[in-house]
């Protein structure tokens, strides 16, 4: 018999139960525990677990938060909402209950290996229904499934037919199937090769340090994060210094931070996760003006590829956004979708009509 339990702390689920559904997951128990402990303002955490005869067979994180619809609007949508908000400041802010985490690359659904393939649609539907019931009890009107992976589209469409899908932010990755950086550069277009060699000349003037912790540098790293966040088109979560220190502490041996200095001044910090096979770029935080002048985005890209080569990692996942550069540098994209519904039928229909304003194709925008 399937039962759904929704917890407000991953500690209440327990490592064994979570890992049973997420074996080897890069953003697994320790990562989510660090996020939970980081004190991110405005979020209540949830963890939905489906059990079969008392054994966990599926699990996913979730959250409850006030959500402003202009977080993911197109420019046209933002302009329209800005006009309304001059009259009603709280308009278009809804209480949201969402599966997924604001700090993970995808929705984070995991199945235990013994969960039969033929039963996974029913298991997922039960998990969604259980999470929804908890979110509704907490007063949420807007319900969502954040960053459902494109390769699993059929499963999500079947398990959540009442949710309207809109285009999400793809995740970029690059397979490390080349023996050296020179071999990688040789694959790029002639114009890109020339541009990269020019941009990388600055490396000799930089000091690069790989660290397992950032004790004593927390304020400096967070200043770089705040600078980076202020330049972002879309802003949702606001990370704290405890996020960076917590991830590094909780994931010792599986997380590292690369620091970039020039003349002793810290210009960028790159938080990375790995599992021995994949290197995941979680956050690249940079002084906007000085970092661009030093080509640090591209320097860090090549430094991360060298880390992969040195440590035997077979894939570099560079995450969401910045698609023009990532495609130019040979990345592939895995699509995601945002799925939503509102409990009020009239609001739900209005949101469906407004769906074209809620998202735009980020890849087309980068072209």
Q: Are residues 302 and 219 in the same domain?
A: yes
pLDDT over threshold 60, residue 364: no
Residues 148 and 21 in one domain: yes
- Whether 343 has a pLDDT exceeding 80, the answer reads yes
Same domain, 183 and 94: no
Is residue 108 domain-shared with residue 138, that is, in the same domain? Answer: yes
> Does residue 301 sit in the same domain as residue 224?
yes
- Could you give the CA distance from residue 297 to residue 325 in angstroms, rounded to a whole number? 10
Q: Which domain covers residue 236, as residue numbers?
A: 172-333
Residue 84 pLDDT: 42
Mean pLDDT estimate for the chain:
91
Q: 71-86: b or e for each residue (b if 16 or more CB lie within 10 Å)? A: ebbeeebbebbeeeee
Which tokens belong to 352?
């469906």
Residues 305, 248 share a domain = yes
Sequence-ordered alpha helix ranges (H) in the chain = 10-13, 15-21, 29-37, 75-85, 120-137, 153-159, 181-187, 190-199, 218-231, 241-250, 288-293, 296-311, 323-328, 345-353, 355-358, 362-366
Q: How far, in Å, CA of 10 to CA of 26, rounded? A: 16
Residues 242, 144 within the same domain? no
For residues 139 and 226, state if they share a domain: no
Q: Are 206 and 221 in the same domain? A: yes
Q: Helix 29-37 crosses helix 241-250 at what angle (to 10 degrees)?
A: 150
Average pLDDT value for residue range 41-67: 96
pLDDT over 90 at 156, yes or no: yes
Task: Say yes or no: 182 and 254 in one domain.
Answer: yes
Q: Which of 154-158, 166-170, 249-253 has the lowest mean pLDDT?
A: 166-170
Domain match, 347 and 205 both: no
Question: Does 345 lie in the same domain as 246?
Answer: no
Q: Is the pLDDT of residue 88 over 60?
A: no
| Overall number of domains in the chain | 2
Q: Between the CA of residue 361 and those of 108, 318, 320, what are the distances in Å? A: 22, 18, 13
pLDDT in tens, 282-301: 999 999 999 999 999 999 99
CATH of the domain at 94: 3.40.630.30
Is the pLDDT confidence value at 329 over 50?
Answer: yes
């Amino acid at each position: 018999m399937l039962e759904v339990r929704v917890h407000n702390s991953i500690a209440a689920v327990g490592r064994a139960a979570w890992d049973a559904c997420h074996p080897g997951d890069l953003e697994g128990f320790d990562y989510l525990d660090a996020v939970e402990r980081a004190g991110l303002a405005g979020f209540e955490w949830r963890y939905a677990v489906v059990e079969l005869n008392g054994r966990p067979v599926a699990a996913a994180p979730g959250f409850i938060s006030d959500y402003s619809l202009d977080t993911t609007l197109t420019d046209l949508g933002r302009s329209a909402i800005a006009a309304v908000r001059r009259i009603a400041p709280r308009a278009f802010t809804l209480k949201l209950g969402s599966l997924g985490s604001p700090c993970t690359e995808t929705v984070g659904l995991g199945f235990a290996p013994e969960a039969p393939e033929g039963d996974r649609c029913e298991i997922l539907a039960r998990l969604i229904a259980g999470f929804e019931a908890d979110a509704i009890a907490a007063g949420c009107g807007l319900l969502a499934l954040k960053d459902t992976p494109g390769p699993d589209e059929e499963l999500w469409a079947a398990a959540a037919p009442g949710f309207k899908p809109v285009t999400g932010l793809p995740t970029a990755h690059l397979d490390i199937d080349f023996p050296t950086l020179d071999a990688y550069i040789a694959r790029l277009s002639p114009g890109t090769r020339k541009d990269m060699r020019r941009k990388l000349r600055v490396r000799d003037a930089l000091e690069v340090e790989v660290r397992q912790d950032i004790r004593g540098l927390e304020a400096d790293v967070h200043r770089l994060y705040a600078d980076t966040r202020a330049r972002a088109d879309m802003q949702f979560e606001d990370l704290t210094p405890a996020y960076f220190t917590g991830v590094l502490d909780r994931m010792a041996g599986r997380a590292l931070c690369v620091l970039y200095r020039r003349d002793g001044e810290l210009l960028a910090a790159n938080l990375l996760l790995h599992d021995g096979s994949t290197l995941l770029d979680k956050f690249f935080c940079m002084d906007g003006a000085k970092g661009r002048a030093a080509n640090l985005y591209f320097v860090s890209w090549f430094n991360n590829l060298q880390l992969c080569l040195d440590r035997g990692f077979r894939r570099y996942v560079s995450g969401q956004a910045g698609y023009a550069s990532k495609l130019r540098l040979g990345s592939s994209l895995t699509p995601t979708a945002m799925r939503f519904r509102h409990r009020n039928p009239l609001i739900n229909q209005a949101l469906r009509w407004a769906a074209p304003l809620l998202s735009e194709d980020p890849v087309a925008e980068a072209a």
